[in-house]
Amino acid sequence: MPVIIYHNPQCSKSRQTLELLKEQGIEPTLIEYLKTPPTPEKLKEILAQLGMAPRDLMRKKEDVYTDLAIDNASLTDDNLIALMIEHPVLIERPIVMANGKSALGRPPEQVLAIL
């Protein structure tokens, strides 16, 4: 059962989620998404598995969100996904993928439901 975590080592929730996975005996594949953002297709897959719209997975308190006026309601989902790929800091974290499902590790225990 491959488990993938879109991880930011600087984020406490991401570190806690990674530790929780390891406590479960899982050594996930780590993707530091700030260095290696998902492709638009992968991000669409994650969003579908999460049941979220792109804006729901965006970190709205990031400076880039304000600087680029991403709160503009006229931006389409494809526009938002492109911005998330170009500026991966906008993607909420951590995201764990396992068993054909995805979960957001906020709180970290939320990922246990897909294992």
Report, as residue numbers or ranges, the catalytic residues: 11
Which of 107, 111, 93, 113 is CA-nearest to residue 43? 93
Instruction: Please give the Cα distance from 42 to 40 (Å, whole number).
Output: 6
Catalogue the E-assigned strands of 8-104.
29-32, 95-98, 101-104
Instruction: Please give the Cα distance from 74 to 5 (Å, whole number).
Output: 31
